[in-house]
Amino acid sequence: MLLGILGSGSGSNMQAILDAIDAGTLDARIALVLSDNPQAFILERARRRGIDTGIIDCRGFRTKFPEEAQQETAERLLAAGVDLVCLAGFLRLVKRPLLDAFPQRILNIHPALLPAFPGLEAWKQALDAGVPETGATVHFVDEGMDTGPVILQQRVPVLPGDTAESLHARIQIAEHRLYPEAIARVAAGPAHGGA
Strands 150-157 and 133-140: antiparallel
Please answer whether residues 10 and 86 qualify as being in contact, where contact means their C-beta atoms are separated by less than 8 angstroms: no
Please answer whether residues 2 and 83 qualify as being in contact, where contact means their C-beta atoms are separated by less than 8 angstroms: yes
On the 0-12 / 13-18 / 19+ scale of CB atoms within 10 A, 136 is buried
151 phi/psi in degrees, rounded to 5:
-100, -55
**How far apart are alpha carbons 138 and 78 in whole angstroms?**
23
Catalytic residue among 110, 139, 168, 176: 110
**How far apart are alpha carbons 26 and 176 in whole angstroms?**
13
110 is known as an active-site residue: yes
Instruction: Find the angle CA(170)-CA(172)-CA(178) to the nearest 5 degrees.
Output: 110
How many helices (H) and strands (E) in the chain?
Answer: 6, 7
Q: Catalytic positions, please? A: 110
